[in-house]
Amino acid sequence: MNSKIENIIVKFLTNQASIAELEKLTTWLEAKSNEQVFKDFIKVNHLIDSSVMKFDSQDTKQLLIETIKNEKKVINFRFYKRVLAYAASILLLVSIAFFLKENILSNDAILSEPVIVNNNIKTGTDKATLTLEDGSKVLLKKGENYIKGNLKSNGEDLVYEKSKSKNELVYNYLTIPTGGQFHLVLDDGSEVWLNSESKLKYPKHFLDGIDRHVELIYGEAYFDVSPSSKHNGSTFKVSTDQQVIEVIGTQFNIKAYQDEVNIYSTLVEGKIEVQSNGLNNTLIPNQQFVLNKSNLDVQIRTVEDMYSVSAWKRGVFSFRDMPLSEIMKVLSRWYGTNISFKTQETKNIRFNGVLGKEQTIEEILNIIYNTNNVIYEINDKTIIFE
């Protein structure tokens, strides 16, 4: 499956696909060979149990056509009942697959309703603070351009063009606040996607003949590294707290938040060597290196749900069998919220599914509420769960 179709499917499942994209998906599904590809994509990404999902491309196509005809970009919860009648269409996922529970079809009465005292929670967007070598700071915002020397930004991307005059290392910092994200292209062509509450230190330009070295001071970043073969064998290294990753041209994700005890380094493709506590560990694709910052214990494990690891950089949140407390920790970084739970039971409720990062916090909370009757209250920037 090519990346364009994959992105359209993700948008489709998160209610973000345009009419033109829905039409393209409909045409793509006309090919018989794509039916299994589509079904396998859903299975791999754990959006629904494939054992209970019958795939019928004709029903799917018909519902897509109806969606396009009515110019609906959001399928509301009531539409779910109609979709369920088909018992075969993938659009079932659009209305309910964001969060799936075994008891989602329960007819239990809803005893209480959410309370909105005062909602001041904003959806995140592209934004960052660039700290230059002289210590000055530049606020980068979506829709605003910035150009200086060999760097330029359109408010969503920060690109360093290859510099011809370079004789010493000078460092810049890119800091992503709560509710922010940003894409960075280093002067060697390596790309870095930075998630909310992250900070990266990196050279304004790399020097020939020495290692290309950056530091993820905290937060989460996805790296697509320009291979050493294009830079006279120069190795690319990423430092985090208590570990160094050596790269030979690859893609990987590092999650190293300050408020989490573990650092997670996950290899998507290629090869990396993780150096920690005097030991070197080589990872192969789909492996994750987990370092406990407190006791330096290490685990290397196989990741079954690779999609969820990097879904955040594609504009979606993907959760698999995750407790609500952990889900809200992720969402709080994007929406800038404070989270409170009145009971341990509510914290431990587990969900699977996908959420679009462009959705409002109320839309997301209503999905949680409708699937498991989880009562919540919004007061200013605080969310309280019963």
pLDDT single digits (tens) 342-351: 999 999 988 8
pLDDT category at 225 given cuts 50, 70, 90 is very high
**Residue 91 in tokens:** 């659009």
Strand partners, 176: 198
Through-space distance between the first and last CA atoms of the chain, rounded to whole angstroms: 42
Is 225 within 8 Å of 236 (Cβ atoms)?
Answer: yes
Q: Is the model's pLDDT at 87 over the cut of 50? A: no
Give per-residue burial for 173-190: e unless 16+ CB within 10 Å, then b. Answer: bbbbbebbbbbbbbbbeb
Numbered ranges of CATH 2.60.120.1440 in the chain: 125-303
C-alpha R_g of the chain: 22
Of the candidates 124, 174, 63, the residue with the CA atom closest to the CA atom of residue 337: 124
Would you put residue 86 in left (φ > 0), alpha (ψ -120 to 50) or beta? alpha
pLDDT of residue 168: 84
340, 342, 348, 351 alpha-carbon torsion, rounded to 10°: -60
Task: Note the Cα 250 to chain centre separation in Å.
Answer: 19
pLDDT of residue 13: 62
Q: What is the mean pLDDT of residues 294-316?
A: 90
Global pTM reads 0.76
pLDDT category at 90 given cuts 50, 70, 90 is very low
pLDDT category at 154 given cuts 50, 70, 90 is very high
CA distance 219 to 128: 13
CATH number of 125-303: 2.60.120.1440
Residue 383 Cα distances to 121, 178, 201, 342, angstroms: 10, 16, 33, 11
The 10 Å Cβ neighbour count of residue 133 is 12
pLDDT of residue 354: 77
CA distance 219 to 271: 22
- Tens of pLDDT along 23-40? 788 788 777 777 767 766
Q: Which residue has the tokens 């603070």?
A: 129
- Tens of pLDDT along 315-342? 888 888 889 999 999 999 999 999 999 9
Q: Is the model's pLDDT at 103 over the cut of 80? A: no
Is 265 within 8 Å of 243 (Cβ atoms)?
Answer: yes
Give per-residue burial for 92-109: e unless 16+ CB within 10 Å, then b. Answer: bbbbbbbbbbeeeeeeee
Numbered ranges of CATH 3.55.50.30 in the chain: 115-121+310-385
Strand partners, 377: 115, 384
CATH number of 115-121+310-385: 3.55.50.30
- Tens of pLDDT along 8-26? 776 666 556 777 787 788 7
